Structure 1
């Protein structure tokens, strides 16, 4: 399966996250996608009410997110979040978040925007399957922690190769944060 998204999505998300990023707080969003002809089209970026720290971000009022997805008949195709002062990778908390998305939709992706990373400003990742999915399925820890190695010795997550960027793909931003 292929995921298509606008080339502007990450930049527009970073603009919405600018205030939090300047205060060293993570920001997150959810990618809503329609599905047709074997392809997921990211058509909606939902910015939920949330609480962020320098190293984590948690959506709140998740029923509002599900309402938007349901009203527009969208799939939760993944999520996007910032690492305002870290490099571009998936933390142990991020791995658990990504696991919940990939359980719902195996093609789901995690986009990490890391404006201070000298090697790359963003990355698109997914858990390896079965390796990373099995590790996370069996992990009951929370917070920052290490994970066991995969049984096949491969990585827990990988850079996505099935996400393609379209310059003219339209998308809507639904900002659920108060005062937005």
Structure 2
């Protein structure tokens, strides 16, 4: 996989020639006035200690268009009541993660699960473009917007790699909220998943300190200056 890099007029551009021609770029200095935090109004709730958590975690910037485009790519599966998943790749610049790549892997899906295949293809793109795996996105085609026990285990693996990693759930049939951006509480939720050896759908105990096992992210921002690429490997 070949890639070329250049800097032009304050814009960092990446052109990737395989598996498909794509271009992604971020403005080196985003206009703060145009960047908005994902608030409780957007995601229907946030933790009481979310602001404190955001001071420790690096901020994550994402384009709302990325979520809309992912939903469009998933539409055929959604119409068949099948889940679709994707991986979020980001640049780290100035202490902030910018999600600039959405990778749609080959996958096997059911109405309530999605398994990525040929993960070496995902790793190859991430390595070639020097991207951090800052999370994943998937649909709940006929379920509400929440994190299942399987989702929690998947999210655990991402947060072990990158503490800022997020799980975006797109739930087009949930009338109360169309999407949510979640992460496991740390250390409570992370410790529970670390100790859990069960597979499949199963209940998890509640954290002893009264905190939720997962919650909405408070360090994620919608950045309209952010462009992105989509690598659909299916």
In the other structure, the counterpart of 1:141 is 198
Q: Please give the root-mean-square deviation of Cα atoms over the aligned residues, in Å.
A: 0.5
Match of 2:133 among 58, 72, 76: 76
Inter-partner Cα distance in structure 2 for 1:120 and 1:13: 17
Inter-partner Cα distance in structure 2 for 1:76 and 1:58: 17
Offset at residue 173 of structure 1 (A)? 0.1
Q: How does 1:68-147 map to 2 (within 5 A)?
A: 68-147=125-204
Inter-partner Cα distance in structure 2 for 1:27 and 1:7: 18
In the other structure, the counterpart of 1:22 is 79
The normalised TM-score by structure 2 is 0.75
- Structure 1 runs of 4+ with >2 Å offset: none
Q: What secondary structure does 1:51 align onto?
A: strand
The normalised TM-score by structure 1 is 0.97
Q: What secondary structure does 1:125 align onto?
A: strand
In the other structure, the counterpart of 1:60 is 117
Match of 2:228 among 147, 156, 171: 171
For structure 1, which runs of at least 5 residues remain unmatched after alignment? none
* Bigger CA radius of gyration: 2
Inter-partner Cα distance in structure 2 for 1:168 and 1:117: 29
> Does residue 10 of structure 1 match 2:67?
yes
Inter-partner Cα distance in structure 2 for 1:14 and 1:149: 32
Q: What secondary structure does 2:69 align onto?
A: helix
Offset at residue 16 of structure 1 (A)? 0.4
What is the CA deviation profile of residues 58-109 of structure 1, one whole-angstrom value per residue up to 9, with x for unaligned ones? 1000000000000000000000000000000000000000000000000000
Q: How many residue pairs were aligned?
A: 177
Offset at residue 28 of structure 1 (A)? 0.1
For structure 2, which runs of at least 5 residues remain unmatched after alignment? 1-57
Offset at residue 168 of structure 1 (A)? 2.4
Inter-partner Cα distance in structure 2 for 1:85 and 1:76: 27
Inter-partner Cα distance in structure 2 for 1:76 and 1:48: 14
